[in-house]
Chains A and B, each alone.
Chain A
Amino acid sequence: MTSPMIPPTRSSRDLILARVRAAVRGAPEVEIPRGYRTAAPGTDLVSLLAERLDDYRAQVHVVPEAEVPGAVAAALDRRGAARLVVPGGLPEEWRRAAAAGREIVRDDPPLRADELDRVDGVLTACAVAVAETGTIVLDSGPGQGRRALTLVPDYHLCVVRAAQIVAIVPEAVARLDPAAPQTWIAGPSATSDIELNRVEGVHGPRTLEVIIAS
């Protein structure tokens, strides 16, 4: 794609910076107190994450690590998902469990949006999960794919490993690298726009199913 021909607005840049400097001249410096929690040790991470995800209407299963492939297959059977998109870098045994009796669509070369719209669901791993807020973070790393992959299909099945769970938000921020695009997910797509009540199911996946490997 060509870059549009726009004359640089240098003068406005200088104007705004000059206005800012004039406005804050002589204002005192500010110390930032960081007395808030930066970790919350002693939390039962697996059960708190499961409880908080459930609060926001995600379907949650806690299984031992070895039983993840079985749980993946069972979830996809229940859902009746026949065509599934699976990003690269997903653990082979999870991928194989998903592929048994189902059509697997690869995102290589990248699928068009309308093609993504025609798959029944997506299976991913994640980067980090935050127990206190019931949040899963995807950072486009192995087994997670680009952001559109977990957006367009109506069903998202996500596997979280116990070691990926942290207690609170500051611990998650510390683990993540902003250079990679991220999506933080807390439950299925929802809205509070009608009378300020939360209703699940608008544009993103209307069903979020999470398998926690304990």
Chain B
Amino acid sequence: MSRTFVGMPAFPRNATRAVQNSQLRYNLRKATHTIRGKRAAVVGELPDWAELRAAGKAIKDHTLRNLDTYLLQLEEAVTRAGGHVHWAADAAEANRIVTDLVRATGETSVVKVKSMATQEIGLNEHLAARGITAYETDLAELIVQLGDDLPSHILVPAIHRNRAEIREIFLSKMAEWGRPAPERLTDEPRALAEAARLHLRERFLSTKVAISGANFMIAETGTLVVLESEGNGRMCLTLPETLISVVGIEKLLPTWRDLEVFLQLLPRSSTGERMNPYTSMWTGAVDGQEFHLVLLDNGRTRVLADEVGRQALRCIRCSACLNVCPVYERAGGHAYGSVYPGPIGAILTPQLRGLGSELDRSLPYASSLCGACFDACPVAIDIPEVLVHLRAKARHARAERAGMRAAGWVFDRPERLARAQRLGSRFRRLVPRRLPGPLAAWTDTRDLPDIPATSFRDWWDKTDGGRR
């Protein structure tokens, strides 16, 4: 994947372009509505969903509150079980550690299990620049990699592609990366899955190094947990001689028992299944395999320091919030300019990266604050609350700040407000439908309200509340 999100314009411009793409809107609408129905059905099956959600939220909050203790406990447990633990303060350090580990094996290619953390740090690009090819093995990641595309969804990075587009990508690009697609490939999902199986089979059986992320890490036991569907995860986790897992420090759970909550919350929220087809759990070095765990900070401790914003670290990357979001459904994942799109991305990205760029400052506004994401979140992240919190923190445009200061001055005294209202009423015919200069940004997407001939206060005084 040579394309990156770096340097993308702010959300409104990306979204404007995306909503004009009718194919994209059709694909997204179809996929998100399919998954919404499935999720609602399997969540409704559980009589204790609310209790599981409350427990999930509290377990994560408790873990984050005591993260230092649990990280040390995890390090000790993994080491005791024969694994090696590495600490990476930022993306550059994580990339360097992984590159050195791969080089030490003498290999020049690795297979990868879909991992948000390695996308976040740009690992594939880093490895490619140093002569190491990373082969993505998750079907959707494969589609993105072959299509030289960017991921647009946490769970299904190629959600913006329909079956016909996937067939085209397979036919034209598979040969460049390995075994070509079957000549008579149809766009039946079953045939496309079969093509991926054939394309990757030999690679799985022969590659000696694998790189993964993890859904959960258990501090008490040192166990790592990966949930998946296809079996590509199992292939990468079990067959290669060396396994390197890059995992965000917030993925911890204190005890083995805590999995009883999250193994119910995650599959039902993400793919809308009672249980995903495959879950792998391993502790340290297993079956003669060498195991390295790279613990990644990369901005997470900064998020942790924000009392309101830290709840974003509860996220278990299920993507339920994307699937129910009216903004995501129309704008698509690329508009968010980050590997974390949708409502969770709108609060996670600006906190991880900071509010330095125009794009990151625009993300807290990529929402109508309807609250569907909060309702769907299995760990009860109050995304609207964090969005509003971040809006207050982001630096605003000069015209907006001047406007708000002026409004504050007017609203500060009743007599100022009354005078301003009378002034507005007198000149109401002169107010344009669209504001001039930098103020036009406001009226581009909003209608100015009609100014009445008399303000409510004046009407009340004049008529004694309608009695005269």
- Residues of chain A touching chain B, judged by Cβ–Cβ distance below 8 Å, are 1, 3-6, 9, 12-13, 15-17, 19-24, 27-38, 52, 55-56, 113-114, 117, 130, 132-135, 146-148, 151-152, 169-170, 173-174, 178-179, 181-205
Cβ of A22: which chain B residues have Cβ within 8 Å of it?
305
Q: What separation, in Å, do the CA atoms of A38 and B230 have in the docked complex?
A: 29
Query: Contact string, B256-293, partner A, CB cutoff 8 A, digits 1/0?
Result: 11011101100100010111111111110011001000
B31, B166, B235: which contacts A196 (Cβ < 8 A)? Answer: B31
Q: What separation, in Å, do the CA atoms of A32 and B231 have in the docked complex?
A: 34
Within the complex, the shortest CB–CB distance from A140 to chain B, in Å, comes to: 9
B221 part of interface (Cβ distance < 8 Å): yes
Q: Are A178 and B278 touching (Cβ within 8 A)? A: no
Within the complex, the shortest CB–CB distance from A34 to chain B, in Å, comes to: 6
Q: What separation, in Å, do the CA atoms of A195 and B97 have in the docked complex?
A: 36
Within the complex, the shortest CB–CB distance from A100 to chain B, in Å, comes to: 30
Q: Are B260 and A30 touching (Cβ within 8 A)? A: no
For the complex of A and B, list the 6 residue pairs with the smallest distance between their C-beta atoms, beginning with the closest: A204-B231, A4-B104, A19-B301, A203-B231, A170-B260, A202-B230
User: Residue of B at shortest CB range from A186?
Assistant: B275
Cβ of B192: which chain A residues have Cβ within 8 Å of it?
194
Q: Are A181 and B257 touching (Cβ within 8 A)? A: no
B189, B223, B274: which contacts A178 (Cβ < 8 A)? Answer: B223
Cβ of B297: which chain A residues have Cβ within 8 Å of it?
12, 16, 19
Cβ of B360: which chain A residues have Cβ within 8 Å of it?
none
Q: Are B277 and A187 touching (Cβ within 8 A)? A: yes
User: Residue of B at shortest CB range from A184?
Assistant: B279
Within the complex, the shortest CB–CB distance from A129 to chain B, in Å, comes to: 11
Cβ of B259: which chain A residues have Cβ within 8 Å of it?
173
User: Residue of A at shortest CB range from B227?
Assistant: A184
B19 part of interface (Cβ distance < 8 Å): no
Between-chain CB contacts (< 8 Å), 24 pairs:
A5-B104, A12-B87, A13-B87, A19-B297, A20-B304, A23-B305, A27-B65, A114-B205, A117-B201, A134-B275, A181-B281, A181-B287, A186-B276, A191-B229, A193-B138, A193-B139, A194-B163, A195-B162, A196-B34, A196-B156, A198-B271, A202-B193, A202-B231, A203-B200
Cβ of A37: which chain B residues have Cβ within 8 Å of it?
47-48, 51
Question: Known contacts A6-B97, A16-B295, A184-B275; is A195 also within 8 Å of B163 by CB?
Answer: yes
A-facing residues in B41-61 (Cβ within 8 Å):
47-48, 51-52, 54-55, 58-59, 61
B34, B194, B241: which contacts A201 (Cβ < 8 A)? Answer: B194
Within the complex, the shortest CB–CB distance from A189 to chain B, in Å, comes to: 4
Q: What separation, in Å, do the CA atoms of A114 and B203 have in the docked complex?
A: 11
- Residues of chain B touching chain A, judged by Cβ–Cβ distance below 8 Å, are 27, 30-32, 34-35, 47-48, 51-52, 54-55, 58-59, 61-62, 64-68, 71-72, 81, 84, 86-89, 93, 97, 100-101, 103-105, 137-140, 143, 155-156, 158-159, 162-163, 166, 189-190, 192-194, 196-197, 200-201, 204-206, 218, 221, 223, 229-232, 234-235, 237-239, 241-242, 249, 256-257, 259-261, 263-264, 267, 271, 273-283, 286-287, 290, 295, 297, 301-302, 304-305, 307, 310
Q: What separation, in Å, do the CA atoms of A145 and B279 have in the docked complex?
A: 17
Within the complex, the shortest CB–CB distance from B151 to chain A, in Å, comes to: 12
B61, B139, B193, B234: which contacts A151 (Cβ < 8 A)? Answer: B234
Q: Are B280 and A183 touching (Cβ within 8 A)? A: yes
Within the complex, the shortest CB–CB distance from B386 to chain A, in Å, comes to: 16
Question: Known contacts A32-B62, A196-B156; is A181 also within 8 Å of B239 by CB?
Answer: no
A4, A186, A190: which contacts B230 (Cβ < 8 A)? Answer: A190
Q: Are B55 and A32 touching (Cβ within 8 A)? A: yes
Q: Are B101 and A4 touching (Cβ within 8 A)? A: yes
Cβ of A23: which chain B residues have Cβ within 8 Å of it?
301-302, 304-305, 310
Q: What separation, in Å, do the CA atoms of A78 and B196 have in the docked complex?
A: 27
Within the complex, the shortest CB–CB distance from B285 to chain A, in Å, comes to: 10
Question: Known contacts A16-B301, A30-B65; is A169 also within 8 Å of B34 by CB?
Answer: no
Question: Known contacts A201-B197, A204-B278; is A9 also within 8 Å of B97 by CB?
Answer: yes
Q: What separation, in Å, do the CA atoms of A192 and B156 have in the docked complex?
A: 8
Interface centre among A28, A30, A35 (most CB of B within 10 A): A30
Q: Are B204 and A203 touching (Cβ within 8 A)? A: yes
B51, B87, B307: which contacts A35 (Cβ < 8 A)? Answer: B51
Q: What separation, in Å, do the CA atoms of A133 and B273 have in the docked complex?
A: 9
Within the complex, the shortest CB–CB distance from A6 to chain B, in Å, comes to: 6
Q: Are B59 and A185 touching (Cβ within 8 A)? A: no
Interface centre among A15, A24, A56, A197 (most CB of B within 10 A): A24
Q: Are B282 and A188 touching (Cβ within 8 A)? A: no
B61, B68, B278, B282: which contacts A189 (Cβ < 8 A)? Answer: B278
Q: Are A197 and B34 touching (Cβ within 8 A)? A: yes
Question: Known contacts A33-B54, A148-B239, A189-B277; is A203 also within 8 Å of B263 by CB?
Answer: no
Cβ of A1: which chain B residues have Cβ within 8 Å of it?
241-242, 290
Q: Are B230 and A203 touching (Cβ within 8 A)? A: yes
User: Residue of B at shortest CB range from A24?
Assistant: B65
Q: Are A204 and B277 touching (Cβ within 8 A)? A: yes
Cβ of A188: which chain B residues have Cβ within 8 Å of it?
277
User: Residue of A at shortest CB range from B231?
Assistant: A204
Q: What separation, in Å, do the CA atoms of A24 and B54 have in the docked complex?
A: 21
Within the complex, the shortest CB–CB distance from B212 to chain A, in Å, comes to: 14
Q: Are B279 and A113 touching (Cβ within 8 A)? A: no
Cβ of B282: which chain A residues have Cβ within 8 Å of it?
181-182
Within the complex, the shortest CB–CB distance from B79 to chain A, in Å, comes to: 12
Cβ of A19: which chain B residues have Cβ within 8 Å of it?
297, 301-302, 304-305
Interface centre among B58, B105, B201, B229 (most CB of A within 10 A): B229
Cβ of A32: which chain B residues have Cβ within 8 Å of it?
55, 58-59, 62
Q: What separation, in Å, do the CA atoms of A56 and B42 have in the docked complex?
A: 13
Q: Given known contacts A23-B310, A195-B189, what 20 new A-B pairs fall within 8 Å (CB)?
A: A4-B105, A17-B68, A19-B302, A19-B305, A33-B51, A36-B264, A37-B47, A55-B274, A114-B205, A117-B205, A182-B279, A184-B278, A184-B281, A192-B229, A195-B162, A199-B193, A201-B197, A203-B196, A203-B200, A204-B230
